[in-house]
A and B are shown apart, each in its own frame.
Chain A
Amino acid sequence: EPEVTQTPSHQVTQMGQEVILRCVPISNHLYFYWYRQILGQKVEFLVSFYNNEISEKSEIFDDQFSVERPDGSNFTLKIRSTKLEDSAMYFCASKRRGAHNEQFFGPGTRLTVL
């Protein structure tokens, strides 16, 4: 069964450094999402992406964040200058066209900012 994959599984970085989190969505999916989950808390929407542009973003997704689909398979989230409070699990999700809003999540990347 096809699934969303994410790399790395765990990223440790110093405050102020840039990080790029990578996702490979399910191959026939056209809508892509990033969410984060701070330890023990709920999953929070960051951004959605369709047709090579951002469709919707939350107030969390400020100028420090950017997303990109650099090729036909990868979808990336960049945090330009990490803060301690960016420490969280980051989940990528994808959805195919016309499938209600059935979003399939990857296993996540645990980001630790020191």
Chain B
Amino acid sequence: QQQVKQSPQSLIVQKGGIPIINCAYENTAFDYFPWYQQFPGKGPALLIAIRPDVSEKKEGRFTISFNKSAKQFSLHIMDSQPGDSATYFCAASKEGSGGGADGLTFGKGTHLIIQP
């Protein structure tokens, strides 16, 4: 029940295309859904996050779509660039009281390549 399932495992998109990465969760207590970007040899970097009270959130070229009834959320990258090539992880957690200290449950990651 704690799992977060992420797909696809890898994705190749031409520059300017819109890669879409999907995640599904099982635990209905989850109420915080971030996406992290990781470059080789680096730690995960927080990209964008959403809470279930909204169905979409945009920050720059990155958009999260959230479907609470289906327990699914996805990341869209608009006007993708070669510099966006990285591994992307979705995650989920409970917020807990006062912000909380809950650990993040990560998906298995998507290796994204943007071809020039």
Chain A interface (Cβ < 8 Å from any Cβ of B): 4, 31, 33, 35, 41-50, 55-56, 58, 91, 95, 97-108
- Binding site of B, secondary structure by majority: helix, strand, loop or mixed? loop
A98 to chain B, nearest CB (A): 5
Question: In the complex, what's the smallest C-beta–C-beta distance from B86 to chain A, in angstroms?
Answer: 14
Residues of chain B lying within 8 A (CB to CB) of residue A105: 36, 43-46
A interface footprint on B45-72 (CB within 8 Å = 1, 0 otherwise): 1100101000000000000000000000
B49 touches A48 (CB 8 A): no
Interface size band for B: 20 to 34
Known contacts A50-B101, A91-B44, A102-B46, then 15 further A-B pairs from the complex at CB < 8 Å, ordered by chain A residue: A4-B43, A31-B99, A31-B101, A48-B101, A55-B101, A91-B43, A95-B99, A97-B98, A98-B98, A101-B96, A101-B102, A102-B49, A103-B104, A107-B41, A108-B43
